[in-house]
Amino acid sequence: MKALQVLNLEKNKLTTLPDTIKELQALQSFNLRSNKIKELPDAMCKMRSLRTLDVQDNPLTTLPVQLCEARTLDTLLVNADHMTYPYCDICQAGTESIMRFLCKERGIEYIEPSNFTVAVLGPPISAHQDTIDAKTKILADNDAQLMAHMQQYETRREQKRKEMAELEQQLKEEQQLQAQIATGFANNKLHLVKALAKEQELYDSELMSVRQQKDIENKLFIQNMKEVERDVTNLTNELLEMSEKARKTESFLERIEQERIESEEWFRVRQEESENLRKQDVLDAMQRILQESKDIEQARLNYDSKKRQEAIVYNQKLTAAENYSLQRALSQTSHKQNKFVEYLQDQEKLQKAAFEALQMSKDAKHKRVTEQIDLIEQELAQLSLVEVERRRMKMDFEMNIIAEKRIQLACLLVQLLEERDKRQAELNKRLAEMEQQRLNDQKDYWLVQYQRLMDRKPQSLLDEESSLELAVVDILVQAKADDYIPLFSRHRITIETLLQMTENDLKSMGVHELGVRNQIMAAVEHYDKKVNGVRKDVGKDITDTRTEPAAEIQATPTAPQVLGANGSLDSVALEVTARFFTECVVCMDVKADVIFLDCGHVCCCTTCSKPLKICPICRADIRQLIHLAAGSVLDLT
């Protein structure tokens, strides 16, 4: 084994190498490719003849600094992308760059491997040759040790040179044998160099193709990330603009609501005063009726006194039978009354729940805040995916921009959540007041309030909206701008006028939100294309009819466009959806569906997020969890 020159241990699942590997002093080529070796032993540095070392496809990240003592090593193959010591760029530069770095770290001078002669073993010839080989081995060992410590021990090197001069006479006899050995070694070296050059050429071509593919993927990814950032910026601006307009509108509506409450209070006082005035008249009328009834009753009693004696006997006979029937009827009546009371209580609860749901859906502020929360949640999920991908690609130069946008969206989300909770508290307070009024006032209260809420718009406004053309109403519904129907009705906008209007016309008319204007213009364009397509089809049918008057016209029915739940066309419905979907960074299996506040990252599923106290990406403390599926908020204390 000590004479072994080539050792191939490729694909053997080796994890470590023994220290006795240093005994292979004649080993020149060592192949450890595709194993599980994590570090090289220091004993490998004692292999004086090692020229080629292949450790590719191993979980190896560092090289021992003592490797620089292997002076004959001229080919070192490693996975440069996985190396941490020496650095990746040094490993990519080649074997010479790696050995220079290790020599510099060791504090010794780098000498090219070509300055060292490697002894090549041959078959034994005679006993005299054994003696020569032994002397040659001693000389090679001394020479290797001398060259390894050249700079530190200059005096010792001079002494060795003198010894080499004394042995020169003996070496002349061995020159012929050494020439043959050198020729064989040169042939082996040439063959190895050709094989390595061919392998390097193949590796370079594959690396070039992989790099080109990687560059194309990076360009596409960067383009997608820029689009995402642009969409997030536009969405943030639109949300701020919508919030400002909605606050003004809500303050105006609150003032109107306060005036309405004051008016109702005034009318209630007036009604009580009117009822008090009528109460005396009613009492007088009741007094007269009672007097008349008293006179009639007295006359009836006089008549009944005559008939009572005759009926006593007959009534006594019927009393026993009637008592039984009456008792049974009273029992059934009591049972029916109890059931009816339970039914009325259930109906009252259902009416209250229906009124509460309708009030939530009718409340413009609550609806707006909820929609904005959904938009921000989706954009946070999208930004979190972009940030994770950029971290993976080590694109740190744009991380600050994404972090600022993410923090801005997270702050806006917290603000909207507070507004939504505040509005829900106001609505619940209003419901409690109405419940107290119900207990003190009238029956079927919730049913009446439900009807009032349904009929909240004044009749004049309903008449104006009903006079608006159906095509205009459909366009506004498709653009999700149905709250602008009264505005278009007040300006008496027809479909012909709407088709001629521009974005500036909409803005001057009162549509200030940029996103709403864009959606209206897109819906108008879609309507115009649809109408023009119908006109072309009709013109074609008329032409065919004129050219072939006797032919039978067969009209192929077309399926109507499917309307969504709000009456708008699904084909033009503008919905904000996430362009990317990311998996949970903890389990790597389930889709991430939880937002962490205050950082705003969306990187974990519901199950994995429960035990977490800090964000896995930015290590920030988690104050709240927002589940994207249900929109629920969990406070973590």
Query: Which tokens go with 576?
Result: 């904000």
Task: Express each pLDDT in 223-270 by its tens digit.
Answer: 888 888 888 888 888 888 887 877 777 777 778 878 778 777 777 766
Residue 447 forms part of a structural domain: no
SS (H, E, C) 95-129: HHHHHHHHHHHHCCCCCCHHHCCCCCCCCCCCHHH
Cis peptide before 86 (omega within 30 of 0): yes
In angstroms, the CA 152 to CA 109 distance is 10
Task: Express each pLDDT in 331-357 by its tens digit.
Answer: 776 676 677 667 666 766 666 666 565
What separation in angstroms does the CA of 553 have from each of 72, 536, 567?
Answer: 94, 17, 33
Residue 205 forms part of a structural domain: no
Task: Express each pLDDT in 291-307 by its tens digit.
Answer: 776 777 677 677 667 66
What's the half-sphere exposure (Cβ side, CA atoms, 13 Å) at 110?
17
pLDDT greater at residue 348 or residue 196: 196
pTM for this entry: 0.32
Residue 297 forms part of a structural domain: no
Task: Express each pLDDT in 143-170 by its tens digit.
Answer: 666 565 556 656 666 777 777 778 887 7
For 194-221, give the DSSP string: HHHHHHHHHHHHHHHHHHHHHHHHHHHH
In angstroms, the CA 71 to CA 96 distance is 11
Comparing CA positions, the residue from 327, 383, 377 lying closest to residue 633 is 377
Q: Is the pLDDT of residue 635 over 50?
A: no
Query: Which tokens go with 285?
Result: 């009328």
Total count of residues recorded for the chain: 637
Task: Express each pLDDT in 49-100 by its tens digit.
Answer: 888 999 999 999 998 888 888 888 888 899 888 889 888 888 988 888 999 9
pLDDT value at residue 214 = 87
pLDDT value at residue 117 = 56
Residue 471 forms part of a structural domain: yes
Query: Is residue 593 within 8 Å of residue 605, measured between CB atoms?
Result: yes
Residue 528 forms part of a structural domain: yes
pLDDT greater at residue 163 or residue 36: 36
Mean of all residue pLDDT scores within the chain: 73
Give the contacts of 165 (CB within 8 A, at least 6 positions apart).
none
Q: Is the pLDDT of residue 132 over 70?
A: no
pLDDT value at residue 31 = 92
Confidence band of 548 (pLDDT split at 50, 70, 90): very low
3-class secondary-structure state, position 634: strand
In angstroms, the CA 150 to CA 440 distance is 108
Order the strands of the 52-54 sheet from edge to edge.
6-8, 29-31, 52-54, 75-77
Residue 285 forms part of a structural domain: no
Out of 498, 521, 540, a domain closes at: 540
> Residue 526's domain is classified under what CATH number?
1.10.150.50
The torsion defined by the Cα of 273, 276, 281 and 283, in degrees rounded to 10, comes to 170
pLDDT value at residue 463 = 54
Break the chain down into helix, strand, coil percent, rounded to 5: 65, 5, 25
Q: Is the pLDDT of residue 101 over 80?
A: yes
Q: How many domains does the chain have?
A: 2
β 52-54/29-31 pair status: parallel
Query: Which tokens go with 296?
Result: 């009639």
Residue 472 is part of which domain span? 458-540
Query: Which tokens go with 382?
Result: 């999208």
Confidence band of 36 (pLDDT split at 50, 70, 90): very high
The mean per-residue pLDDT over the stretch 405-411 comes to 81
Residue 133 forms part of a structural domain: yes
Comparing CA positions, the residue from 335, 340, 342, 350 lying closest to residue 444 is 350
Type of residue numbered 155: T
What's the half-sphere exposure (Cβ side, CA atoms, 13 Å) at 143?
17
Structural element, H or E, at residue 189: helix 175-362
> Residue 50's domain is classified under what CATH number?
3.80.10
Query: Is residue 600 within 8 Å of residue 620, measured between CB atoms?
Result: no
pLDDT value at residue 347 = 65
Confidence band of 565 (pLDDT split at 50, 70, 90): very low
In angstroms, the CA 477 to CA 567 distance is 7
User: Running DSSP on this structure, what letter comes out for residue 443?
Assistant: S
What separation in angstroms does the CA of 403 have from each of 388, 394, 396?
Answer: 11, 15, 11
Query: Is residue 239 within 8 Å of residue 419, measured between CB atoms?
Result: no
Cis peptide before 598 (omega within 30 of 0): yes
pLDDT value at residue 434 = 67
Comparing CA positions, the residue from 126, 207, 215 lying closest to residue 174 is 126
Query: Is residue 105 within 8 Å of residue 65, measured between CB atoms?
Result: yes
Query: Is residue 446 within 8 Å of residue 348, measured between CB atoms?
Result: yes
Order the strands of the 633-635 sheet from edge to edge.
602-604, 594-597, 624-627, 633-635
Q: Is the pLDDT of residue 631 over 50?
A: no
The mean per-residue pLDDT over the stretch 13-19 comes to 88
Comparing CA positions, the residue from 628, 542, 547 lying closest to residue 593 is 628
Q: Is the pLDDT of residue 195 over 60?
A: yes
Which of 118-122, 510-514, 573-577, 621-625 reaches the highest mean pLDDT? 621-625
Residue 604 forms part of a structural domain: no
* CA triple 567-571-574, angle to 5 deg: 80
The mean per-residue pLDDT over the stretch 623-637 comes to 59
Phi, psi torsion values for 29, nearest 5 degrees: -125, 120
pLDDT value at residue 566 = 36
In angstroms, the CA 624 to CA 598 distance is 7
Percent of the chain's residues with pLDDT above 70: 64
Confidence band of 569 (pLDDT split at 50, 70, 90): very low
Lowest mean pLDDT among 235-239, 437-441, 547-551: 547-551
Query: Which tokens go with 155?
Result: 């005096």
Out of 485, 516, 540, a domain closes at: 540
Query: Is residue 595 within 8 Å of residue 406, measured between CB atoms?
Result: no
Out of 520, 540, 560, a domain closes at: 540
The mean per-residue pLDDT over the stretch 215-230 comes to 85
The mean per-residue pLDDT over the stretch 265-280 comes to 62
pLDDT value at residue 319 = 66
Q: Is the pLDDT of residue 571 over 50?
A: no
Structural element, H or E, at residue 497: helix 495-500
